[in-house]
Chain A
Amino acid sequence: MSRWRRYRIAFETLLIKEVLRFVRIWIQTVLPAAITTALYFIIFGTLIGGRIGEMDGYPYIDFIVPGLILMAVITNSYSNVVSSFFSAKYQRHVEELLISPVPNWVILAGYVGGGMARGVVVGVAVTLVSLLFTEVRVHSYMLTLVVFVLTSVLFALGGFINAVYANSFDDISIVPTFVLTPLTYLGGVFYSIDMLPTLWQNVSLANPVLYMINAFRFGILGVSDIDPRLAVLVILLFIAGLTAFALSLLSRGVGIKN
């Protein structure tokens, strides 16, 4: 059997396993995001949004749709991989992979693929929920899709690296709570950075999530605080960096081999 066919089968096996894992527990993995988003729409969109008026020339509810979708993608891609890979370490079934002839990049691809799948499924669920509250007309399907997919890949990679270093269940919630959530909330989900004083505008530009949310918003609405091409470039650079880092962790066996 050719080596590539062997890798492909191993990758598919891992991917199916990862997808089944979150689909089986969809009440924990898919439903919460849909419910939270519905609440955001009710509170910020319908109740408060009416008083806020327009933002960047759009009704407030329309303005926050892209950010809310992407926020769900970010959280879910990340947490899928961090909990799945950490649990593989914790229960030691990561050893099933270590003893098999599966190269590290296939292992990484399998887990990241699983995280991406969860991000996409949840993203679609949230989009469907948002359609209950407003119409979503897409400005550029191409850009929307690219940002959607790349963002889920990026945060799935982040979740993987987090899991490699994690030694306890606490360690897998530290980054989401203290890094991811602030970055997302301050990444312009609910406001345009134009509203901020210059100093805070510049500080915001150091936040990678800002680029993703704005690129995604541009894809859907056609408005953005920054150039979407720059945003895509930033995401790609982060993906390349994190991929290289994750592979080096795997090849050194950090956290998984003695």
Chain B
Amino acid sequence: MHALKVTGLHKTYRGGHVALRGIDLEVEEGDFFALLGSNGAGKSTAIGIVSSLVTKSGGRVLVFGHDLDREPEEVRRCIGLVPQEFNFNQWEPVEEIVINQAGYYGIPRREARARAERMLRQLELWDRRRTQARELSGGLKRRLMIARALVHEPRLLILDEPTAGVDIEIRRSMWAFLQELNRNGATIILTTHYLEEAESLCRNIAIINHGCIVERSRMSELLNRLHVETFVLNLAARLAAAPNLPGYEARLLDPVTLEVRVNRDQGLNRLFELLTEQDVEVVSLRNKQNRLEQIFIGMIDDAREGARAP
């Protein structure tokens, strides 16, 4: 069963800005899934539509088989959301925020109290339960949003950039918490623009760029591809066939152009040794960037800008 199945999702904001251009996405039950993309790619818009915060312009959303258009309440019951921006009542005490959220899902007050206590203890917020939300630090606010999202025990937890602006220690403890949750059966989708975060947590990923899904694969597979660099070599003399280069993947694009894929840990010395042995003379060499790398470079720039911002 798919925890989430999205087809042909479109979103045009009022004012005409097109944020999503027909997105297809499938997330298996039990998965730990990352939606990667740079700032403005459309991650929050997609998440917003799935969690009923944004109205879609077109397409279909199924959550555990429930259609968002026909059974919106069933869909909402399945989902817990940790939004990108803090969105609780700043003046409300921590405990009440969680208890009230439980109430909206129909959990009776007594039970809601018990659950709120459990969640707040787990997230180390219990001592601060009477504190008004606005007095919490950024990291604690994030954790409060996680407690609130989990109080109705959703089957699908969606986190929109949960670790943005959270220091490294809290980030690691949050990762551990999410992994534990996933081991206990919850499906988790998170958006991030840190490749590192997706790498340490997620099994499957999709990359979204300018409102389109440009990549959908297993994390391990993606990493393999990212660890390979492709070089294009211009040769002095024409070759009839690619030279024999054990350990490297090479193909002749034309008689004087050779393309070689090199693992990042292999290095180029051995390649040139092999070429020299076979009397292949290289005139020039350039690094061929793949589309995926370009996207990631964009994301890394974003992340740097984010880190610089106050």
Contact = CB atoms under 8 A, between A and B. Distances in A.
Interface string A9-21: 1101110010000
B52 A10 contact: no
Interface of A: 1, 3, 5-7, 9-10, 12-14, 17, 87-88, 91-93, 95-103, 253, 257-258
Interface in B98-120: 100-101, 103-109
Given A17-B100, A257-B53, A5 B106 contact: yes
A245 to B, nearest CB: 19
A6 B105 contact: yes
Contacts, number: 79
A100 B101 contact: yes
Contacts of B77: 101
B54 A258 contact: yes
B89 A10 contact: no
Pairs A-B, 9 closest by C-beta atoms: A13-B103, A6-B106, A100-B104, A101-B73, A92-B87, A101-B76, A93-B89, A9-B106, A95-B87
B85 A92 contact: yes
Given A95-B53, A96-B88, A101-B73, A258 B106 contact: no
A140 B93 CA distance: 43
B13 A258 contact: yes
Given A92-B85, A258-B13, A99 B51 contact: yes
B243 interface: no
B55 interface: yes
A10 B103 contact: yes
**In the complex, which of the residues A6, A7, A13, A103 has the most CB atoms of chain B within 10 Å of its own CB atom?**
A13
Q: How large is the interface on B (under 10, 10 to 19, 20 to 34, 35 or more residues)?
A: 20 to 34
Contacts of A6: 105-106
Given A7-B106, A9-B106, A88-B89, 4 more contacts: A3-B73, A93-B92, A95-B83, A102-B104
A7 B77 CA distance: 13
A91 B106 contact: no
16 contacts: A3-B73, A5-B106, A9-B103, A9-B107, A9-B108, A10-B104, A14-B103, A14-B104, A92-B87, A95-B83, A98-B52, A99-B76, A101-B72, A101-B106, A103-B73, A257-B54
Contacts of B72: 101
**In the complex, which of the residues B72, B85, B105 has the most CB atoms of chain A within 10 Å of its own CB atom?**
B105
Contacts of B207: none
A86 to B, nearest CB: 13
Contacts of B79: 99
B48 interface: yes
A17 B55 CA distance: 27
B2 to A, nearest CB: 20
Nearest to B75: A101
A131 B284 CA distance: 99
A21 to B, nearest CB: 9
Contacts of A102: 104
A88 B92 CA distance: 12
A165 to B, nearest CB: 15
Contacts of A14: 103-104
A97 B148 CA distance: 12
B269 to A, nearest CB: 55
A3 B72 CA distance: 13
A258 B48 CA distance: 9
B88 A93 contact: yes
B102 to A, nearest CB: 8
Nearest to A24: B91
B81 interface: yes
